[in-house]
């Protein structure tokens, strides 16, 4: 499950970088890359086609990012809040009763 999340996040990052590149290539006044491709003879068709492509690419990449993020949320599941786990009391065993000390002297092994 973690590998799917990582893959989706890498795809989101790639799409985000591409989106930034496309938006930076656009000129807010209609120039941008379209003015580079458009010449004196093909001004109408070259500029319009490039602007259309840039606009479609912007919307498409934005949609791709949204879909990838929604997929990552759906596949990984949302975190659930649970009550803190209550620890069960540990049963302590009573210490083993030691044998009473004997009053007699210990038996020694015979000397060799």
Tally DSSP H helices, then E strands, for the chain. 3, 0
The number of C-alpha atoms within 13 Å of 102 and in the hemisphere containing its C-beta is: 4
Q: Is residue 6 part of a domain?
A: yes
In a domain, 13, yes or no: yes
pTM of the model: 0.53
pLDDT at 42: 47
In this structure, is residue 101 part of a structural domain?
A: no
What residue numbers bound the domain in which 53 lies? Answer: 2-19+37-76
Cα–Cα separations (whole angstroms), residue 99 to 55, 96, 105, 107? 91, 9, 15, 17
Question: Is residue 59 situated within a structural domain?
Answer: yes
Mean pLDDT per 10-residue interval, the chain, length 112 residues: 85 94 79 53 57 87 94 79 65 67 65 68
Whether residue 12 is contained in a domain is answered as yes
CB atoms within 10 A of CB 22: 19
The structural domain count of the chain equals 1
């Amino acid at each position: 499950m973690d590998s799917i999340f990582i893959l989706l996040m890498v795809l989101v990052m790639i799409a985000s970088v591409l989106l930034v590149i496309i938006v930076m290539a656009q000129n807010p006044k209609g120039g941008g890359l379209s003015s580079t491709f458009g010449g004196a003879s093909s001004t109408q068709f070259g500029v319009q086609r490039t602007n259309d492509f840039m606009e479609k690419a912007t919307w498409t990449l934005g949609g791709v990012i949204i879909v990838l993020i929604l997929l990552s949320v759906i596949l990984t599941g949302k975190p659930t809040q649970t009550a803190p786990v209550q620890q069960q009391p540990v049963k302590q065993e009573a210490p083993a009763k030691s044998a009473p000390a004997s009053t007699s002297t210990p038996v020694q092994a015979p000397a060799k």
